[in-house]
Amino acid sequence: MVLPGSRALTRRHVFGLTTLAAGGGLLSACASADRAAATSSSAAPAPTAPPSEAAGAVSGEDAWKQLLAGNTRFIGDQPTHPHQAAQWRSSLVQAQHPFACVLGCGDSRVTPELVFDTGLGDVFTVRSAGEVLDDAVLGSIEYSVEHVRTNLVVVLGHAGCGAVSAAIDLVRHKGEVTGNIATLVRAVEPAVLATPPDPDPGKFLTACVAEQARRVKTELAERSEIIRDAVAQRGLKVVAATYDLADGKVSELT
């Protein structure tokens, strides 16, 4: 995608083509080769939109379906590992057209590109422990919505989240958090306080994780005019979801 001058400059300046590489300007020959490579090991369909499509061409609803289809392959131990070949990588040098933005926790067990079976240029990923929003995280998501034109933002919490667990301990005056970790954990505290008590610690943690993801979803619209406008004007879809560490399943939270 070629952006008007000021936007293009901002985009290059802030993110840099070499640091957050990925992108469009995709040659159909490369796309065909990549699709062939991606499907050679499995009959599963390629998970992403046709690379020749312009940025923003995939609706939020279709993007969510694509992510869930990729998650189904991941759950079934039949990932296609798409869009990782050298030829595909080369085709992404000039621009990116990811079809979704995912805000996930930093937990090493919940890598969005893997759990959704996607590849380079498919997902604009922002990660923050507990999916906590600060201005930089929010700005990164706004960038994906405003400039990269993703029509889907997923807030992905997960089972056994350490940030949420630490917030539970904080509320109960157990344990100790220091440095900037304290700031992070306190940001999750409202979700813990809003969650009904449960005598089962595991169930309570799961409920707090879900509450945190839902609250962050709500907070995105409350804090961001860019996101509010995208929802109202072009149907940006914002989803809260959780990931199960055991079976690998991503479930939408309603």
Q: Which residues bind Zn ion (CB under 5 A)?
A: 105, 107, 161, 163
Three-state SS at 227? helix
DSSP state of 103: E
Least distance in angstroms from the C-beta of 220 to Zn ion: 18
Tell me whether residue 80 or residue 242 sits nearer to Zn ion (CB atom). Answer: 242
Tell me whether residue 105 or residue 167 sits nearer to Zn ion (CB atom). Answer: 105
Tell the burial category of 162 from Cβ atoms under 10 Å away from its Cβ (0-12, 13-18, 19+). Answer: middle
CA 119 to chain centre: 13
Least distance in angstroms from the C-beta of 130 to Zn ion: 6
The residues with which 102 forms a beta bridge, in sequence order, are: 125, 154
- What Å distances lie between residue 4 and 1, 11, 196, CA to CA? 10, 11, 49
Least distance in angstroms from the C-beta of 105 to Zn ion: 3
Compute the distance between CA of residue 200 and CA of residue 178 in angstroms, rounded to an integer: 27
Compute the distance between CA of residue 190 and CA of residue 199 in angstroms, rounded to an integer: 19
Least distance in angstroms from the C-beta of 131 to Zn ion: 8
